[in-house]
Homo-oligomer: A and B are copies of this chain.
Amino acid sequence: MGGRLSNGTEVELGGQWIGESQDVAKSLIAELGLELFDTYDSGDSALYVDGELQRFNTEGVWGLPPESAAEINRLFTLIEELAQTVSIDAAWDTPDAAALDRQTFDAWVRQNTDDALARRYVAMMIPAVFSAESPELSLLHFLFYVKSGTSWTVLISTTGGAQEQRVRGGTHLISERMAEDLGDRVRLNSVVRTIRQDDTGVTVEHETGSVTAQHAIVAVPQTLAGRMRYVPALPVGRDALTQQMPAGSVIKFQVGYDTPFWREDGLNGQVQSLDHAFNVVFDNSPEDASCGVIVGFIEGDFARRAEQLDADGRRDLVLTALVDYFGPKAAEPFDIIEQDWNAEEFTRGCYGGRLAAGAWTAYGHALAAPVGRIHWAGAETATVWNGYMDGAISSGQRAAEEILAYNV
């Protein structure tokens, strides 16, 4: 979904980065005649902790005391090793799946380090990636997601990672260009309530009519897929999965300034904070730097609390953080756009669905398995780059292949 700051600058309200190794997304982007450019990544990153901004200019967590930084690096190394044991095609078949799925990621962290700063750092990073807190994820889900996105380092990196590039003109152009090709076959504002199927095909009933077809591909989050009625009713395992794959909690902000003034201070605009609710931000200025834009997020528990405030209260959270990160100039943006994904009736959370302890081994097998002529797609059903635009695209291709094979 695209938005526009008051000066006309286009900014994404949803997914906006294209990462290293996201070849499926890159291929579609090229096919649609769109172009990529690099996320701004020159200068120092920073970590805000206990009232101070700690700058650092290479990978690592240098803003912390060396013993905590070493502890975090040790945890990340353990994660990378453990993640590589997961079967991303069938996480429930991973060696030792039951033991990995039984634990929350939080329990694993607590078991593996006593360092208070390391725990705080991880507690900040998990919502940054999952929009959920670490007790809400099973260790198996966490590891699956890490391997699905190549590695933890890739997931959290800009250059060389998931936040490496952006689409000229905005990622909404991807869906808009695809929709142009499809013409009036795309029906907007049609709330689907029931999908019927029999041996000959499907009927998709929406609030103002219906569509018949040979097959249906349901490409909404699993938690929303469960809200439609299916006739005949879905198998037990598939229904149960939709009952327990909730979306994360996130409010996204785009903050516009006259210039990307932090660049003059040698900052790349990437700040993480252990002290703030608005705790992960990036430079999201237009490629020509015609103005400055900071994009950032309030996630997990912080999002749940921020939703209790009014818009002014949330604006204060955002600007207080930005002044701490970038100085007093940050107090005067020319515009702030706020997008609460949890409040969108037909999204109800981001970045994607997660599975709590026990759920992958109990119901993971139903995540992408077709039910007759009904097929499941969307980023949550992907094996590679699950939760990302790349996974969304490949899942659609996989569903199309299922249908082609069905008809043979």
Which residue numbers of A lie inside 8 Å of B, CB to CB? Answer: 101-104, 106-107, 133, 135-136, 138, 191, 193, 223, 226-227, 229, 233, 236-237, 239-240, 243-247, 249, 301, 304, 307, 340, 342-343, 345, 348-349, 356-359, 362-363
Whether the pair B247, A243 counts as a contact (CB closer than 8 A) is yes
With A304-B362, A362-B304 in contact, is A357–B244 under 8 Å at CB?
no
With A342-B236, A349-B240 in contact, is A356–B103 under 8 Å at CB?
no
- Partner of A244 from the list B138, B233, B244 (CB cut-off 8 Å) is B244
> In the complex, which residues of chain B have a beta carbon less than 8 angstroms from the beta carbon of A359?
136, 356
Instruction: For residue A220, give the distance in angstroms from its CB to the closest CB of chain B.
Output: 13
Provide the bound-state CA to CA distance between A307 and B240, in Å.
Answer: 12
> In the complex, which residues of chain B have a beta carbon less than 8 angstroms from the beta carbon of A357?
104, 106, 135-136, 356-357
> In the complex, which residues of chain B have a beta carbon less than 8 angstroms from the beta carbon of A304?
236-237, 362-363
In addition to A226-B226, A356-B357, 13 A-B residue pairs with Cβ atoms within 8 Å of each other are A102-B104, A136-B362, A191-B229, A193-B229, A223-B243, A227-B227, A233-B345, A236-B304, A236-B342, A239-B348, A240-B342, A244-B246, A356-B356
Whether the pair A237, B348 counts as a contact (CB closer than 8 A) is no
Whether the pair B307, A237 counts as a contact (CB closer than 8 A) is yes
Closest-by-CB residue of B relative to A340 is B236
> In the complex, which residues of chain B have a beta carbon less than 8 angstroms from the beta carbon of A362?
133, 136, 301, 304
Whether the pair B348, A243 counts as a contact (CB closer than 8 A) is yes
